[in-house]
């Protein structure tokens, strides 16, 4: 912040649009835009591990091939852009990318049934690739026909655009330190999803 001491009234701000996931109605509720001085950031607005925040001001726009632009946290932008440009020039099947998107979809539930924690997408540290061929499943310790599809389209290892442990796309993201949601422990498998923790 080169000018922070010389320009009066130009205090750095933090701006974001958010919502809460209601676990009872299974709908997004409480849409709002938040803005406050950057210096007032609260711990729940910062990802401790990466230092990335929910603020638009900390996101970088990336555009790959002829796909719509998306945003990621500035700390990951260089690696993610290089990786995706390489995959695109290698004709790997990257059809759709969703990254920064702020919303409380995790963590404890309040009295109204609303989630109270920000997802990793909220900090710009998670990417969804080809959601239509890489669904999010629950009741899915290991993948089988009884896993329950909750979001996106059906995953099938032989399908064009679906990701597997052997996919160049999965290998490339792992090489820059991201984990794949198709390989996380627990009941959930999120085949479209990459982040530092896989969640």
Where along the sequence are the contacts to Zn ion (CB under 5 A)?
A: 126, 128, 193
Alpha-carbon gap, residue 131 to 125, rounded angstroms: 17
What's the min distance (Å) between Cβ of 195 and Zn ion?
Answer: 7
C-beta closer to Zn ion: residue 20 or 193: 193
| Phi and psi torsions of 120, nearest 5° | -65, -25
Residues contacting 53, CB < 8 A, separation 6+: 14, 41, 45, 46, 47, 73, 123
Please state the closest distance from residue 145 (CB atom) to Zn ion, in A: 23
Q: How far is the CB of 77 from Zn ion (least distance, A)?
A: 17
Q: What token pair was written down for 2? A: 């080169």
Q: Minimum distance from CB of 102 to Zn ion (Å)? A: 13
The CA radius of gyration of the chain, in Å to the nearest whole number, is 18
Residue number, 20 or 121, with CB nearest to Zn ion: 121
Give the tokens for residue 153.
Answer: 């389209």
CA-to-CA distance for 84 and 101, rounded, in angstroms? 19
Q: In the complex with Zn ion, which residue's Cβ is closer, 53 or 122? A: 122
């Amino acid at each position: 912040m080169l000018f922070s001491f010389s320009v009066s009234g130009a205090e750095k701000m933090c701006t974001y649009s958010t919502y809460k996931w209601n676990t009872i109605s299974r709908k997004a509720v409480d849409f709002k835009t938040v803005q406050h001085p950057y210096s007032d950031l609260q711990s729940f607005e910062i990802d401790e591990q990466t230092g990335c925040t929910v603020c638009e001001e900390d996101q970088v726009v990336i555009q790959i091939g002829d796909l719509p632009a998306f945003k990621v946290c500035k700390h990951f932008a260089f690696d993610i852009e290089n990786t995706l440009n390489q995959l695109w020039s290698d004709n790997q099947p990257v059809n759709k990318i969703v990254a920064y998107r702020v919303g409380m979809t995790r963590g404890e539930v309040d009295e109204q049934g609303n989630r109270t924690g920000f997802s990793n997408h909220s900090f710009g540290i998670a990417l969804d690739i080809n959601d239509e061929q890489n669904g999010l499943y629950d009741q899915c310790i290991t993948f089988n026909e009884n896993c329950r599809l909750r979001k996106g389209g059906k995953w099938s290892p032989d399908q064009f655009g679906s990701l597997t442990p052997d996919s160049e796309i999965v290998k490339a993201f792992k090489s820059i330190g991201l984990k794949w949601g198709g390989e996380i422990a627990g009941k959930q498998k999120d085949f479209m999803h990459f982040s530092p923790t896989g969640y």
